[in-house]
């Protein structure tokens, strides 16, 4: 019997681009989170990303720098703001 993963929906920002095989760093509700290892990136758009870690499925609605998930250069620009 397979145990289903918990789904986590958050509104926040990725602190660096997602990389398969590495943990994700995100900020939501004034807290910084480090996830377990990212195993899949299922969907990404300009304002939302759905990715899976070893333990959970994440649905992140991104603000205020949504393109940081897709283009690493936006992360550097966001850090300067």
**pLDDT average, residue stretch 39-52:** 93
Burial 48-58 (b: 16+ CB within 10 A, else e): ebbbbbeeebb
Between these two residues, 45 and 70, which has the higher pLDDT value? 45
The answer to the question of residue 12 being in a domain is: yes
The answer to the question of residue 1 being in a domain is: no
pLDDT of residue 64: 58
Q: How many structural domains comprise the chain?
A: 1
Structural domain of 51: 6-80
Q: State the pTM of this model.
A: 0.72
């Amino acid at each position: 019997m397979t145990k289903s993963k918990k789904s986590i929906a958050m509104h926040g920002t990725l602190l660096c681009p997602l990389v398969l095989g590495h943990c994700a760093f995100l900020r939501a509700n004034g807290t910084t989170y480090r996830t377990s290892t990212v195993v899949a990136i299922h969907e990404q758009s300009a304002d939302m990303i759905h990715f899976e870690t070893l333990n959970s499925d994440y649905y992140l609605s991104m603000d205020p720098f949504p393109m940081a998930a897709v283009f690493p250069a936006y992360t550097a620009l966001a850090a300067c703001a």
